[in-house]
Chain A
Amino acid sequence: MAASVDHGGWFAALFLGVSLLKCLFISSYHSTDFEVHRNWLAITHSLPVSRWYHENTSEWTLDYPPLFAWFEFGLSHVARHFDGDMLRVENLNYASEATVLFQRLSVVFTDLMFVFAVRECCRCVQVQKGSQDVLNQPAFVLAALLLWNFGLLIVDHIHFQYNGFLFGFLLLSVAKHMQSRHLQGALLFAVLLNLKHIYLYVAPAYGVYLLRSYCFTQDNKDGSVRWSSFSPLRLIALGSIVISVCALSFGPFIAMGQLPQVLSRLFPFKRGLCHAYWAPNVWALYNLLDKTLVTLGVRLKLLQEADLPRASMTGGLVQEFQHSVLPSVSPSVTLVCTLLSILPAVASIWFRPRGARGFLRCLLICALASFMFGWHVHEKAVLIAILPLSVLAVESREDAGIFLMLSATGHYSLFPLLHTPAELPIKVVLMLIFTIFSFIALRKLHSGRGSLLRPLEVVYLSGLVAVAIACEVVFPLSPWRQTLPFLPLLATSVYCALGVCYSFLRLYGSLLTSHKRKQL
């Protein structure tokens, strides 16, 4: 900011600032995910590999792929020096001071992977010429948007998870693709998939992009694929990387004949369509429609109340839920919906490849589509779209507008994650910091030609503020607190679902318009 700030060092300042802030949250509330990860530390440390995916003393069984288990195994060797008792499997819900300190610090330190990836991403965006002010540099804005991302801060450092570390792999892999180091990018993504399989959602984008833009070395003049330029060597290189990583990860379990057991842990379809708190996606709107129809039906005497299945959808239990009027949704339906919704995007990068940025856009659409239509989606999954979208947002005006919409709604939908009153000021203030910064910085970056948001979007976002005040301030003081406890969650997820759906459509729109621009 002053003279010295302009001469670099801002990245270290952003990174150190946020890391120190994370350390302040050590004694804050943590969710059951804290116990989940403690349990995994204990399992991987004290049991032989063959027991890892069979152990079920705790209800929080190991349900991440094997590389993540090895990651926990590595951490457990450091954990030993903090408090050995946390590594005993039967020590359920153990949270001594040293345990909390170790687990919190482990998240802060493994975030270094994320920091490194952000640094690489910042190298890939162009420099704004003529601007002396570091605050107007796309690289600075991108670093701030990623490192200080509100969602990541509260999900990882208060709620407790290792997303920063995982997103490090994703962003680094994206950065490697932007730098045309495709094999490194593929390796990183293969590792990521074996750390957390939720990233399978974006695998179609990777698969098609690598096949089309890496295995085929040349295009025809009109941009369509030239079949003769296929390079089998490149395909073999790619394939061997992916297969060897998967072999390293799953190999031992296949050798022990445990593959079905591992897979049954990784893909638990026994859970319901929606999480206890509905993620703001299409199914939230579908559920609401169902509820409305039921209420209307009962009012108009078209339905008998006694015939209806009794279930409270946001009652806080992870369970299967029967829709009353509309047809129930099965996992295969969600799968088909997801595949159909990503098809146009994937097809577009096959027929009209537009380099790494086109790939990134396709990746975003895959992430958001699976968020919109997926089975048992967590609200946290919206970060898979928000974080990579930051990269596009600093480069194009159109994407900046989408980013503002999606980040505001997506981040607000994370509010119910922190339900304890002590953390209320933190989530509100951090959200304000991030939102003010993103609005001001992106507007300045894309200055000229009016506002980044359309009038309707401004109205919607003002409505978000109203919903926030109603849910966080008015509702806890109102009499409905006792009679309708799920109302704020319902309002939040339905209102945010509108914004996320809209952003999804606008993102698709941007894919088509950039298509047209290319043709012109």
Chain B
Amino acid sequence: MQTWSLVSICVLLGVVVRWGVSLSSYSGAGKHPMFGDYEAQRHWQEVTYNLPVQEWYFNTTDNDLNYWGLDYPPLTAYHSLICAHIAKLINPEWVELHKSRGYESPEHKLFMRATVLVADLLIYIPAVVLYCFCLTDGSSKKKVCNLLCFLLYPGLILIDYGHFQYNAVSLGFALWGVLALGLGWDVLGSVAFCLALNYKQMELYHALPFFFYLLGKCIKQGLMGRGLFQLVKIAATVLVTFALCWLPFLSDPSQALQVVRRIFPVARGLFEDKVANTWCSLNILIKIRSILSRDSQFYLSFACTLLSVLPSCLRLLTKPTFWQFKLALVNSSLAFFLFSFQVHEKSILLASLPVCLLLNDLPLIAIWVLQASTFSMLPLFLKDGLLVPYVVTSLAFLYFGPYLLSALEHSSEEELRLGAYHKLLFFLPKMDLASLVRRKFYVCIAVMACLSVVSAALVPPPHLPDLFPVLVSAFAFMHFFGSFVYFNIVQFSAPPSRKSQKKSN
């Protein structure tokens, strides 16, 4: 069968699954007075449509920042503005200042869901298709399988189409950046990444690898000659892109400062809710928040993040290859997720995207981590009433991932890149690490399934109301920490040899 028809069927399947999920409930549906992320996005449309640009990020009589004030960079605001104009055309009540607060109706839900799908179709999905076809190796059928798994990653679908956010936009821009860098178009890549960064500040998780990859490439070309020219060109592109995105706020320094203050709310504490990172997991044992002052918490997390990112970034700087770049993206985003300040459970999506890039190279591990990332957001899905879509999409991913990518067959020690472990664990008797990994995979999936059933079906004991969310986040944390170590080791071990690459073809 022709490849194009398989690709279109895969994309259409991705779309129908997305739309199927979008039929279910969204965050904060009917939950007066604060609602949820759905209302936040609608409120931003209302604010951006009715207020002048100068007031968007300021607390005024018409703009109560305590009620879902705008706290994302300007591109998000512009996107809201465009959506608001369309909303105004369809039904002016949807974006009426003040009066539209908490507006909910089936038509409005349909409109909001459609905006997500349109953004996804324009930005994320084409990038995924191009990535799978230009930058993965293997037969065209293998590429199609890869594409389908990439598109069916449940975490992103559930957050964007269930919970309600526009992660596909920022992740899509980042993916366009990766794509351009992989094809050697460094300038375009940096434009795309700047757009991602200006859509969602959380894209900073990916910023260091981008920076070090480009810097490393320039150094390789010689910092005195062509490299310098290239570096200047990229720097200028970044500055111009940023300037264009921030144009309305540049006239007055206080404006720009206020935007920055809104985007980085340092005052909000080390972590909120139950998130599967180091600080929240450590909190079970040590109550860090009561021991340290907020400032020292901030410096501690900053130092830890920096230390954990540094090795992979330095390795990337000395070896700026695309393979290293992909791994550095995973390592950096995982390091940020695990150690940085004020992390949300949804931020794991930033680590999932680069893991998706590795679906073709390390299928089993990638599927495992991706499933863990979906699982880590389970408490959120339960709160939003997304149990059925969560179960359905996870089962589909767990079945089709290993099946289409033949993950369990391609899991020899060499293919899992476990060679380095033998050197590290020289003191232990020699054993078959690959089968151990496979067994561990099954056990972990079983534990995730059990915890999912338990969280959904049982009522926690009254003196431990947070028991299940804590168990979920602690278990997911173990996965993220383990995979952080694993991907760092992979990055520092030898690059995939030609031979094994050919074999995987």
Q: Are the chains A and B members of one assembly?
A: yes
A residues lining the B interface (CB < 8 Å): 1-5, 9, 13, 16-17, 20-21, 23-28, 101, 133, 135-136, 421-422, 425-426, 429-430, 432-433, 436-437, 440-441, 444
Please tell me if the beta carbons of B392 and A23 are within 8 angstroms of each other in the complex.
yes
Taking the closest CB of chain B, its distance from the CB of A132, in whole angstroms, is 11
B281 to chain A, nearest CB (A): 32
Closest to B138 in A: A2
Minimum CB–CB distance from A438 to chain B (whole Å) comes to 11
CA distance A429 to B12 in the complex (A): 6
Chain B 11-33 near chain A by CB (<8 Å), digits 1 or 0: 01101110111011100000000
Given contacts A1-B141, A440-B5, contact A24 B400 (CB under 8 A): no
Q: List 18 A-B contacts (CB under 8 A).
A: A1-B404, A3-B409, A5-B404, A16-B399, A21-B17, A24-B20, A27-B388, A136-B1, A421-B107, A425-B19, A426-B20, A429-B19, A433-B9, A433-B16, A436-B9, A437-B9, A440-B2, A441-B1
Given contacts A25-B23, A426-B20, could you give 18 more A-B pairs where the C-beta distance is less than 8 Å? A1-B144, A2-B141, A2-B145, A4-B403, A4-B409, A17-B396, A20-B396, A24-B17, A24-B21, A27-B24, A27-B25, A422-B23, A422-B110, A425-B16, A433-B9, A440-B1, A440-B5, A444-B1
The 5 closest A-B pairs by CB, nearest first: A24-B20, A4-B406, A440-B5, A429-B16, A23-B392
Tell me, in angstroms, the Cα distance from A21 to B400 when the chains sit together.
13
**Contact B110 A1, beta carbon cutoff 8 Å:** no
| Nearest CB in chain A: distance from B179 CB, A | 23
CA of A21 to CA of B16, assembled, Å = 9
- A38: shortest Cβ distance to chain B, in Å? 20
Output the least CB separation between B148 and chain A (Å). 9
CB neighbours (8 Å) of A426 from chain B are 16, 19-20
A4 contacts which chain B residues (CB < 8 A)?
403, 406, 409
What residues of chain A lie closer than 8 Å to B392, measured between beta carbons?
20, 23-24
Q: Please tell me if B395 contacts chain A, counting CB pairs below 8 Å.
A: yes
**Hey, which chain A residues are within 8 Å of B23, CB to CB?**
24-25, 27-28, 422
Closest Cβ of chain B to A426, distance in Å, is: 6
List of A residues within 8 angstroms of B145 by Cβ: 1-2
Chain A nearest CB from B339 CB (Å) reads 36
Which residues of B sit under 8 angstroms from A101, Cβ to Cβ?
388
In the bound complex, residues from chain A placing their C-beta under 8 Å from that of B8 are: 432, 436
Of A135, A422, A426, A441, chain B has the most CB atoms within 10 Å of the CB of A422
| Dominant secondary structure at the A interface | helix
Residues in chain B near residue A429, CB distance under 8 A: 12, 15-16, 19
- Residue of B107, B142, B396 with most partner-chain A CB within 10 A: B396
**Cα(A101)–Cα(B141), bound, Å:** 37
Nearest opposing residue in chain B for A439, CB measure: B5
Report the minimum CB–CB distance from B365 to chain A (whole Å).
18
Q: Which residues of A contact B353 (CB under 8 A)?
A: none
Q: How far is the CA of A146 from the CA of B391 in the complex (A)?
A: 25
Those of B302-359 within 8 Å (CB) of chain A: none
List chain B positions with a Cβ less than 8 A from chain A: 1-2, 5, 8-9, 12-13, 15-17, 19-21, 23-25, 106-107, 110, 117, 141-142, 144-145, 388-389, 391-393, 395-396, 399-400, 403-406, 409
Q: In chain A, what residue has the closest Cβ to B21?
A: A24
- Chain A CB within 10 Å, residue with most, of B19, B21, B395: B19
Within the complex, the shortest CB–CB distance from B375 to chain A, in Å, comes to 17
Please give the distance in Å from B183's CB to the nearest CB on chain A.
Answer: 25
Q: Of all chain B residues, which has the CB nearest A141?
A: B1
A421 x B110 contact (CB < 8 A): yes
CB atoms of A436 and B5 under 8 A apart: yes
Pairwise interchain contact B16-A430, C-beta atoms closer than 8 A: yes
A433 vs B110: C-alpha distance when bound (angstroms): 22
C-alpha gap A4/B401 in the complex (Å)? 12
The listed residue with most B CB atoms (<10 A of its CB), out of A1, A5, A437, is A1
Contacts A24-B389, A429-B15: A2 and B406 contacting too (C-beta < 8 A)? yes
Closest to B24 in A: A27
Chain A CB within 10 A, most for which of B16, B107, B117, B396: B16
Q: Give min CB distance, B352 to chain A, whole Å.
A: 20
When C-beta atoms are compared, the residue in chain B nearest to A97 turns out to be B385
What CA separation (Å) do A444 and B23 show in the bound complex?
36
Query: CA of A432 to CA of B7 in the docked complex: distance in angstroms?
Result: 13
List the A residue with the shortest CB-CB distance to B396. Answer: A20
* B117 x A425 contact (CB < 8 A): yes
| Chain B proximity of A435: nearest CB distance (Å) | 10
Neighbouring B residues of A3 by C-beta, 8 Å:
406, 409
Complex Cα distance A23/B400, Å? 16
A433 B409 Cβ-Cβ under 8 A: no
* Interchain CB contact (< 8 A) of A20 among B5, B106, B395, B405: B395
A5 touches B110 (CB 8 A): no
Residue pair A2, B405 in contact (C-beta under 8 Å): yes
Query: Which residues of A lie under 8 Å from residue B21 when comparing CB positions?
Result: 24
Interface pair A17/B400, CB less than 8 Å apart = yes
Query: Chain B residues with Cβ under 8 A from A444's Cβ?
Result: 1
Cβ-defined contact, B12 with A433, below 8 A: yes
Chain A residues with CB under 8 A of B409: 3-4
Chain B residues in 8 Å Cβ range of A430? 16
- Taken together as a complex, chains A and B put the C-alpha atoms of A325 and B404 apart, in Å, by 61
Q: When chains A and B are docked, how far (Å) is the Cα of A103 from the Cα of B400? A: 27
Question: Most B CB atoms within 10 A — which of A24, A25, A28?
Answer: A24
Q: Are B2 and A13 neighbours in the complex by a CB distance under 8 Å?
A: no
Chain B residues near A28: list those with CB within 8 A: 20, 23
* B68: min CB distance to chain A, Å: 25
| Contact A9-B403, Cβ < 8 Å, known A2-B145, A27-B24, A440-B1 | yes
- Smallest CB gap from B113: residue in A: A422
CA distance A136 to B141 in the complex (A): 13
A322–chain B nearest beta-carbon distance, Å: 39
List residues of chain A with CB within 8 A of the CB of B24.
27
Q: Establish whether residues A422 and B106, one from each chain, have CB atoms under 8 Å apart when the complex forms.
A: yes
Q: Chain B's nearest CB lies how many Å from the CB of A134?
A: 10
Q: A25 with B20: in contact, given A20-B396, A422-B106 (CB under 8 Å)?
A: yes
A21 and B13 CA atoms in complex are apart in Å by: 9
Q: How many angstroms between the C-alpha atoms of A21 and B2 in the bound complex?
A: 24
User: Given that A421-B110, A441-B1 are contacting pairs, would A5 and B403 also be in contact in the complex, using a CB cutoff of 8 Å?
Assistant: yes
Contact B142 A2, beta carbon cutoff 8 Å: yes
Cα-based distance from A28 to B388 in the complex (angstroms): 13
What's the nearest-Cβ distance from chain A to residue B150, in Å? 14
| Residues of A with C-beta under 8 A to B406 | 2-4
**Cα–Cα, bound, A436→B8 (Å):** 8
Residue ID in chain A nearest B139 by CB atoms: A2
A430 to B12, CA, bound (A): 8
Chain A residues with CB below 8 A from B395, complex form: 20
* A197 nearest CB across to chain B (Å): 34
Give the one of A28, A429, A432 with max B CB within 10 A: A429
| Complex interface: chain B residues within 8 A of A20 (CB) | 392-393, 395-396
